[in-house]
Structure 1
Amino acid sequence: MDFCEGFQHKNYAPIPDEERIPVKTSEDIDREIQRQFDALYAKYDNIGILLSGGMDSANLAAYLKPGSHAYTFTSASGEFDADIERAKKYCAKWKLQHHFIEVTMDDFKQFTPIVMRYKYAPVHSIEAQIYKAAIQAKADGVQLMIVGESSDLIFGGMDKLISPEWTFDGFAKRYTFLDPKLVLTNPVDQSELYERYRTGETTIDFMRFMDEVFAVESSGSYLNAFGAAWMPYYDPYASLVMSEPLDMHRVRNGEPKYLVRGLYAMKYPELEIPFKIPMPRPVDAIFKDWEGPKRAEFRKDIPMEQLTGNQKWQLWCAEQFLNMLEK
């Protein structure tokens, strides 16, 4: 969606399936990621990584040279301490220089306008903090940043979204993060997006929706944040594709991303395999006491106490974007 004449919203273009490398086993993934890192190190001397406590970035950390820079997000609230402790173990094992990027409301205020202007659209809450990490990495001499963002989409993560046998209405309600009717004075129906994927009276091709909508939006957040910082980045998972259909029985029975889990077991046999750990974004703590938007486009009776931190972020970000359009 272009929100203003003369400014085009930048979209992420996934690698076509026919250009991806098929993998069948965890060993295949290991071999192909190693090949990619060998090629990267032929071009770059200083490669860094966004490192959480989860599997995806932990696996990629294993291919970095000792002394490489790793960046982990933190919050003064302490809500991500367990995630940080796991990241510390990864850095200790591979002898990486570990940097902590604390995310505050001041960071949102400072960096959100930058990433919004680069995209010329409202942004995801991770974009301001990725931008902060990227400019720190540039100051540390990093030439290329590694991320593991595509793993969920390619190898059967996001199990809470793809495991249920969704009805059309159920999926549309689940994926609508904040109902426009709840917060806007003149809400506009958004069902047209979901209608593109309707397959019957009550059914929806939600897997195609995830590939064509979710994947572009999610990866676009990284594209925009790193782009605004003029920092190159690379996702080794994005070049891979499963050579066999995803085993939904395993995903639905507590084994999401089973091939990536196998790779983690190879790299960290001494550690318990973690379940999905999303990139920390401290919106719950930061927006806990925020009273809500003031512009006329927003309702005056929004039940702020019922909204999650991510929903409050969306409201705050939307108001900042509208303010920006008027300048």
Structure 2
Amino acid sequence: MSHLTHQTASSSQEMTSGVPLRNESLYLMYRRFFPIHRRMVSLVTTPEEMQDHCSDKIASVEGRVGIMLSGGMDSAMLAHFLPKGSIAYTLEYGEDETALSEFDQAARFVPLGVEHKKIRITRASFFDMARELTLLKREPTVPHDPAIGLAARQALADGITHMVTGVGADGSFGGFGHFYKDVSYAAFRSNIIKQFVAPWDVLKNPVPVDWVIGHYTVNDKVDVQTYLGDVGTEGTAVFDTLQACGLVPVNPYSSMRFGAALDIAGRGGKYPLKDMFALIYPDRKPNKKMALPVPYGPWMRDYIPTRPEFRTDRMDRFGGKNRYQIYALELYMDMRAQFGWSQPTGDRLFMQ
């Protein structure tokens, strides 16, 4: 586990557990730092409008195009619009872990004239890139950030200038269906805690962070659609990673939003995107959905934070993905102390 070893600073004000850890608490609860930038988005309500938006975004690129192509529906639709000479990159994880490969599924949607490359992610390369990205971004990474960084490194070597991703599809078009089942404040808060990390389970001196959910709550009902559009579940992590690595991110789904109320109960999750898929590929079906197949469990099993700001008596509550999030925060705090970085205050929702 040598690549998970932190070099803890010996003298820093933040070594004192009494210092309020504001943005650290926000990162654990919402997987992003605050304040956040408001995004300009185009409102769309039909599959045709969505298709035109994606087509126009990719057609307007002046440079060589790559795409992060998983086996899922979202990136498969964007692949349809790639110009000839583009390269599709699909991630594969671990050593001899063939069950964690989406390459064959992704290959079904690689257009003629587009090269398909496999990016093999090993444990060592993943954690090396985690350190590199933390240094570049000066923020904690999100769990799949290092894999995106490794793909970006290969793309740069291939002469790619712009990278297309399916980021934003779930947040903008009715993904994360569990958030919509019960939109009461208590249920939504509980779902956030289950998905991410409760700061009070990890930090000795957390600060209250429920005010973020409160911003989107009226009469005990959370506006999930707007929350996911603004805050999301990873912020602008992928955009920031690609940009930090020297690529221009092209995220068509992030620059549009469904302009009507979503009928998740009646039509199911992501139904606007399913309608768009049927328009683009009328004679085909999407692959069965697979979550990002990163082997967080075995990679993070033995990780325990060592900085004095962290409590360790509740680590058994966390699976590998959440342990990575804790690791990423500790790594960032080590580097911040080492290099003297400043950080946003985290005292408001949006940039002014």
Structure 2-normalised TM-score? 0.77
C-alpha displacement of 1:240: 3.0
Q: What CA distance in whole angstroms lies between the structure 2 residues aligned with 1:13 and 1:276? A: 30
* Residue 84 (1) aligns with residue 103 (2): yes
Distance 1:14 1:193, change over 3 A: closer
Counterpart of 1:73 (choices 85, 88, 91) is 91
Equivalence for 1:236: 252
Distance in 2 (CA, whole Å) between partners of 1:315 and 1:23 is: 37
Q: Which residue of 2 aligns with 1:292?
A: 304
Change (3 A) 1:49 1:235: same
- Quick one: distance in 2 between partners of 1:271 and 1:189? 48
Picking from 280, 283, 304, the partner of 2:296 is 283
- Residue by residue, what CA displacement relative to the aligned partner does 1:160-218 show, whole Å, maximum 9, x if unpaired? 22x21222122112112112232333343322322333323x4433333222222xx63
Contact 2:69 2:79 in 1 (8 A): yes
1:164 to 181, 191, 214: 181
CA contact (8 A) 1:118 1:224 kept: no
1:71-104 per-position Cα deviation (integer Å, ceiling 9, x unaligned): 11111233433x332102112x434211122223
- Pick aligned residue for 2:52 from 20, 28, 31: 31
Give the AA of the match of 1:322.
M
* Mapping of residues 1-327 of structure 1, within 5 Å: 13-17=37-41, 20=42, 22-40=43-61, 43-44=62-63, 46-76=64-94, 77-81=97-101, 83-91=102-110, 93-161=111-179, 163-176=180-193, 177-200=196-219, 202-214=220-232, 218-251=234-267, 255-274=268-287, 276-287=289-300, 289-304=301-316, 306-327=317-338
Higher relative contact order (CA 8 A, sep 6+): 2
Would you say the 8 A contact 2:57–2:252 is kept in 1?
yes
- Deviation string for 1:105-144 (max 9, x for gaps)? 3223312223223332212012221111111101001111
Q: Contact conserved, 2:71 with 2:289, CA < 8 A, in 1?
A: no
Report the residue type matching 1:97 in the other structure.
E
The more displaced of 113-122 and 237-246 is 237-246
Contact 2:58 2:250 in 1 (8 A): no
Inter-CA distance 227–59: structure 2 relative to 1 (3 Å threshold): same
CA–CA distance in 1 between the matches of 2:57 and 2:215? 36
Cα distance in 2 for residues equivalent to 1:206 and 1:262:
21
Q: Secondary structure at the match of 2:231?
A: helix
User: 2:177 touches 2:264 (CA, 8 Å); kept in 1?
Assistant: no
AA of the residue aligned to 1:84: F
Deviation of 1:12 (Å):
6.1
Task: Give the aligned CA root-mean-square deviation in angstroms.
Answer: 2.6
- Point out where structure 2 has 5 or more consecutive residues left out of the alignment: 1-21, 25-32, 339-352
One-letter code aligned to 1:175: I
Structure 1 residues 114, 165: closer, same or farther in 2, change over 3 A? Answer: same
Gap regions ≥5 residues in structure 1: 4-8
Query: What is the CA-CA distance between 1:155 and the residue it aligns to?
Result: 1.8
TM-score where L is the length of structure 1 = 0.82
Task: Supply the distance in 2 between the matched residues of 1:282 and 1:247 (Cα, whole angstroms).
Answer: 34
